[in-house]
Every structure is written in structure tokens, then in C-alpha cells.
Amino acid sequence: MVQSHLQFRDRFDAGRQLATKLVALTLEQPVVYALPRGGVPIALEISRALQAPLDLLLVRKIGAPGTPEVALGAVVEGSGAETVINEEVRMATGADDTYLERARQRELVELERRRALYLGSRARLKPAGRTAIVVDDGLATGATAKAALIAIKNQGAAKVVLAVPVAPEATLAEMRPYADIIVCLHPVRAFPGVGAFYSDFHQLTDEETIGLLRQGWVRGGTTGSAHSRRSILVPPLGLVGDLSVPLDPRGIILFAHGSGSSRLSPRNAAVADRLNDKGFATLLLDLLTADEAKDRRNVFDIPLLAERLLEAAIWIQAEPDIADLPLGLFGASTGAGAAMLAAAELQGRVAAVVSRGGRPDLAGPRLAEIEAPTLLIVGGDDREVLTLNQKALHALACEKLLKIVPGATHLFEEPGALEAVTDLASAWFEHYLLKPNQPPTSATPQSISQTSAVAVLRTAAEPLPSLEDANFAAVFDRFAQARVILLGEASHGTSEFYLARAAITRRLIERHGFTIVAVEADWPDAAAIDRYVRQSPHRPMHSTPFARFPTWMWRNKDVDAFISFLRNHNAKKLQGEKVGFYGLDLYNMTASIAAVLAYLDRVDPEAAQIARERYACLSPWSREPAAYGRASLTEGYALCERPVTRILIDLLQKELQYAKNDGAEFFDAMQNARLVADAERYYRAMYYGARESWNHRDQHMFNALQNILAWTGPKAKAVVWAHNSHIGDARFTEMGMERGELNIGQLCRQAYGRDAALIGFGTHSGTVAAASEWDGPMEIKAIRPSRPGSYEDLFHKVGADRFLVDFRAKEHDNLRRVIAAPRLERYIGVIYRPETERWSHYSYASLSDQYDAFVWFDQSCAVIPLPTEVAAGEDETYPFGL
């Protein structure tokens, strides 16, 4: 019976038949939109016949609550992200606005992921003023096509055409109000299903879809791109490749696909498209013949795959338009092992290597022979491969770097994961693939010579006494009129930075009335120290304060001495005059939950029971809160947002009742509740990208500071201790200018103006306490002498042991102009990798705009840690280390 319905050999046949009908219509300015994946082969044939540009139109169904298989509506990508709702289904299922918005946002995330997967960084084709042809391989209910037609019309298409090979007559009737023209080869009354009309109706893979789209772009000139694209054959076996060459290419990247993949790998294609946009030529190559690919053993034959890359490199050198370009290798999965082996063989011919979720370890002992700078990119949740890459990193003797994409699994399918890969790979190749006589892309733009800059800086530098001299801190009295003074550090393990901050803070407390010390530490841990320095009653904690990695950051002899000073100082003061020690960070969620519950147990046992039930939502993730972010992402909405926020609201509503007993205890509970609510959002944000999570963290730190100031009183003044990356104004750094990140220093400047003083710290060389890996043991490491051309190098050439540079001073206009020219600045966190220092620890900044002043120690020493029993648990501050 089914055979009687057959009309098309496959989708290409259907596309050619449809194209014949559409050509006869002489449509003006046509643009073809395929509904993936089944519509792509058909749209490709139509695009070729009409010589029209080809794009995708991505649509996602919104399932009904409780019955997701029922279509409540659909959301279509594009400007405004058109949403079409079936009101009848909405009324029947009771879907409210909150459900709709959550479902819509979830599907929008998936739409962006799919566009990145299929199209990389290619811009959408706009239908405004053109004839938009919407193509699918057939209609059943038509829900997706209806949403697409409405959206494309709303985006300004002059005429909308629906083109399908087959559809039920009733469905076509429903489409007529939304399309100006409908072309259907076989409208049928009794509809057995779309597949019944095709001899070959197999499910298209992502790789097939990507390959077909690339064919359309190559042959149709569909995007107006300046790239030259062509299919090539690499001798002697005639391996098939896709070569894309932009105008005036800066280098060429040869791709090595992974096991079970081919040159049509959608992920490699997405990276290649981004590299094309950056000016690199790319060659995506099948490393096996069709017959070889049938034998799975060949997929893991690393020497064979590497040999194919060598053949491709020889072919490249024989092509006039690309022969002289610097060569980079990009390998995925087992292809990474082949790329490493090829790099070892080719030596100086290869300028840089990048591995994505790869197996570089498969190159074995040849890893040590690689000369080209090598970047290893691994998903944070790809645990087994991460371990193998860490071992490979150790075996490499070249310049090397391991970059982990938080929350990503092996295929980098999570939202934002593949984009992170393309950004990292692009930056690596941009830096290392240089034409002859071409300066590095990151070369410092300096309009003033190094010599004259040193001379100007030497004139402005104010020598500082030794740290033991009381006059050291007196130099900083000039900043005492500020309400908030932020003291930075260039590492989390340098004694001079801690001693200097302690000396300055002590003077601000004793001479200038500062009563708040707020540090880059978790609230509940710092609260235990605060009770000690105020001599308040001891309260048992969920765990030992600061017993989590990195323990040395706050459990060291320099901090211990400062804490003793605070306790002795407070012993002579009335309760309202005592100095408080507060944490601004948000990581110790478990301890904060325990603190809130302990407080409510004391003041309102009934409310404590309700809070326990609400916080129970987070209990499955208490030891691994990052897993909560993954779970929320999978579910598509904030699993625990409402219950933890409800606790915060309940506390606020009972503020007068609770606070009258003990205002300090209530404030502590409120801050812990705020921390839990913000941490819940932070762990969700981690899976949408580093920018979102970083910004959420620093916004929390700023909010915590403001809450402390408000609670302490209108005349309260605060000193903040945090890393330079947090206290230097992000707007004048690479993190702000290129990544859209903010920090507490920027927020303080925006809120307080000149009543906020931002003071950075730096050093040239010495030793530092840091780890080599996250959760690794503390080591005393030698700090490499500062990189030539960096700010640290400039300050070192002044030739003084210690000095202050005050960028606010009126007489230093020339200094500000000189120092404002962007240079590299060094940031060392709790992890220090000297072997990859340029990429791990330097980024560009404009120092005189970033800070109000800068303190320099030419030589420095590591902090001395206190003995600590390390608490087990999730590495919650990863990946920042700052």
C-alpha cells in the first residue's frame, strides 16, 4: 500500500521538481529559507536553480505543561524572536505567562545553539523587501511552517512563498492566510505521512546538514562573502577537502577530524567559519577514503591519520595562493593525536596547534618533539579526557596552555561552549600565525618610546619606606577622605601585598575612622573571624573557616597578624566603635544555609522548619553546587530560585520582629540568605558563559559592600581587599573592553566617584604561593621576570625597590598620558603556570585609567601558610582562581 504513494527518489529529487515550478514564477529578489534538517536538501536545489541565497529558519516547538509532546506554540529565531501561541491549547492546559516565558527562553537558548552549530558566525539573511521562500520536505500538522511564515512576514518580507513537495489538503488550507503563494507538488486528502512519498527518507545527521549548507555557500555565492570556497582533492588518494580562502589571508588552518567524523563535522565547520571571518584560510579534509572509513580500526590509526595531514601540508605548499601562508593545525578527538604527530614531524613548518576535546596523548613520546605553541581545549565535565590532556600538557616541552570550558562535555553541545572554543582557537592562531615581517596581533600600541615612558615614570615615582617603617602607611593619608578604599594585589600568594594592605588599613582605622574591612572571602567564613575580632560569643560553624582550597589565601601568617591587631584594637573600643571583618564573596553556600537555619532555630523555630523544606531543594547539590547549574540548564529553568528567594523575602518581612532582639545577628542571617540566593543564580549563570558568572559574582560583592555600609551607618568608611582583577576598573581592561565583564572597582567608581580610591599592586619577580592545578597542593614558585613591553617591565626599569605612583596628582598629567597607552598587565591568581604565562596571566589594560594609584615592589616573597586541615568539597571558585 505504501508503495502507491511514492513520488520522489529522495529529497534532492523533490527539490529539483519544486525548483522547476518556482523558476516559472519569476520571483523578484528571492531568498530561500530551509526548515532544518529535512528542508535543507530541497532548499539547496531551489537555491541553485533560482541562484538565490540560502539560509536556515530555525523554529522550536513549545510543549504544553505536563504534556510536552502537545504543541502549545512555537518560537522562531530572528529579530524579535517571534512567538506563535495556540490559544486553544493554552486555555485547555492552563499555561500561564510565567510558564510561557520560561519555555520560550529555554527554546531560544536551543535555537542559538543550533544556529551556532549549523552556521557558525554567519550572519542571518534578512528577508526585508525580498521574496522569502520557506521550504520543508513536507507538512503534517503544519505548526512549524505556520510559525515560520508568520515570523518571516513580520520581519518585513515583501512576499512569502511556502514550497513543499507534499502536504494534506486541510493543512494547506490552514496555511493560505499566512503565505502569498503556496507551491505544493502533491496535495493529498488521505495523508499517510510525509515519509510515505519518498524512497529514501532517512534522518539527516548534523554533519550532512552542515555539508549541504556549505555546498550551497560555495556554489551559490549566497552570502556576499569575500571568501573563495572550493572543493579540492589531495593526492595521491584523492582525499576530499573543502578549502576556504578569504581575501589577503593571514594564515591557513588544516583541520583533523575526530573518530567517526569527517570533513563535514559541524563543530569543526563552526570553528572554521569563525576563523574565516578572522582572515584565516581553512582546509577541512577527509583523512580516510570511503573504503577506509568502513573499517573502524583506521579511525584510531594515529600514524595513518598523521600521514594524511602531511600529504595535505605538501599539497598546500604546491598551491600558489596559499603556499607561503603560516600553517596551523586544529585537531578534534583522535584527530588531535594525529595533529600532534604531524606537528612533531613538520617541526618549523607548523606555527601553532589547537586541540578541541582531543586525545593529544595518542601522540605518545613524540609530544616532547613539538616546537609549535600548543593549546589544549577541554570541557570541564569531560573528566576522563581532561585527565589525559593534563598528562599530555606535562609531556609537551613547547609553549603550551590548557584551557577548560566550564560545564562543557566532550562534544561542547552546551550553550556557549562551542563559542568559547572558537574564541580561544581564534585568539591562539591570531597570536602565533604571523606572515613574514608581520608584527604580533597583540603588539602593544605605543606612541611613546619605552625610554621616554621610563623617564616620565621615574620622575613621578614616590619612593616608599620599608614595610616595617610607620611612615610607609602615612604616604597613603592622601586617600583617607574617600568613603571606600580598594586595595588590590597582583597575586593571592605574595607577602608584600598582604603586609602593605595591613599597614595601610591599620593606619586608616587608627587615624581616619575606618570601621569596615571587607575582603574577597566568603561571608560565613569571614563572619567567624568577625566574631573573634569583636570578641563576640563563639558559634559553632558548619566547617573550619577558610579550610577550603586555596587555604593559604586567608590562612597565612600575614593575615593572622592583622587579625590579632583587629582584636587588640577592638578590645579598647565600645561595641558601636569596633571594626568589623566581612566577606564579600558568594561561594560557601552550604555554610550560609546552615547559618540561616541556625539563626531561625534560635529566633523562630516554626520559620526554621519552613526554611529547611525550601532549602531542601538545594540539598542534592550541597557538596557539588556546580551540578545544580547543569541540572537547571537541563530542565531549562531555575529549579530552586523561587524557594530560596522566598526565604529572603520572609526575613525582610519579619525584619522589625527579628532585629529588635539582636540587629547584628539578623544582619548576618540576611547576608547569608542573600548569598544563597545569589549563589543559586551564579551556578546557573556558569553554564551560560564566563562573562555572566563573573559579572554576577562581582555584582554580588558590590551589593554586599553596600549592604554593610548601609547597616553600619551613613558615616561608615570601608577598606576592601581583593585581587587587582576585581578592584581595578574593568572598563579600562581587556576583560571589560572585549569581554563585557564588570567588577567591584568599576561599580564603586560609578556609585561613589572620587569617594572611591582604587589602588593596585604589582611586582617584577620573586616567589609566590600558588598551585599548578585546581585543588592542587600549594607550591612556592619562582615568578618569572616581567614580560618585555609590559607595565611590570616598565616599572622594573625605574630601578627602585618600592614606590607609589599617584595618578590623581595634578602634576602628573604627562604620566597619565604615557601610562594610558595599553600594555600587558600580569595577574596571578591561586594558580600560577609560568610555562604559559603570556596566555595564562597577562592581558591588556590602561593602567592610569584602571587605578587611582599603583604600589610597586620590585622583588617579593611568598606568604607563609598556617597549618590547615583542608575541607573536601567542590572547587567552587573554578575557573576564576582570582
pLDDT in tens, 435-466: 555 544 443 333 344 557 888 899 899 999 99
| Mean local confidence (pLDDT), 145-174 | 91
**Residue 228: enclosing H or E segment and its boundaries?**
strand 228-234
pLDDT > 70: what percent of the chain? 88
More confident position, 403 or 266: 403
Q: Which three cell numbers stand for residue 32?
A: 530561500
* Helix spans in 58-205 (H): 87-93, 97-119, 143-154, 169-175
**Residue 432: enclosing H or E segment and its boundaries?**
helix 417-432
Burial status of residue 554 (CB atoms within 10 A of its CB: 0-12, 13-18, 19 or more): buried
Q: What pLDDT, in 10s, does the model give residues 189-218?
A: 887 778 888 888 887 777 677 777 776 765
Q: Which three cell numbers stand for residue 520?
A: 574577597
Q: What pLDDT, in 10s, does the model give residues 294-332?
A: 887 888 889 889 999 999 998 998 888 888 899 999 999
**Stretch among 233-242, 609-618, 677-686 having the lowest mean pLDDT:** 677-686
Strands 181-188 and 228-234: unpaired
Q: Which three cell numbers stand for residue 663?
A: 540587629
Cβ–Cβ contacts within 10 Å for residue 444, how many? 16
SS3 782: strand
Q: Which three cell numbers stand for residue 78?
A: 530572528
Q: Which three cell numbers stand for residue 413?
A: 553541545
Residue 223: the pLDDT is: 41
Strands 718-721 and 484-487: parallel
Highest mean pLDDT among 118-132, 261-275, 545-559, 584-598: 545-559
Among 513, 521, 525, 518, residue whose Cα is nearest residue 501? 518
Residue 392: the pLDDT is: 93
Among 444, 541, 539, 554, residue whose Cα is nearest residue 493? 554
Residue 582: the pLDDT is: 97
Structural domains for the chain: 2-205 (3.40.50.2020), 226-432 (3.40.50.1820), 448-464+481-492+724-864 (3.40.1660.10)
Burial status of residue 780 (CB atoms within 10 A of its CB: 0-12, 13-18, 19 or more): middle
Q: Which three cell numbers stand for residue 808?
A: 590623581
* 95, pLDDT greater than 80: yes
Query: What is the signed CA dihedral for 467, 557, 704, 643, rounded to 10 degrees?
Result: 170
* 220, pLDDT greater than 70: no
Please state, in angstroms and as integers, the Cα–Cα distance from residue 504 to each residue in 122, 522, 529, 564, 847, following that order: 53, 23, 20, 16, 21
Residue 96: the pLDDT is: 86
Residue 542: the pLDDT is: 60
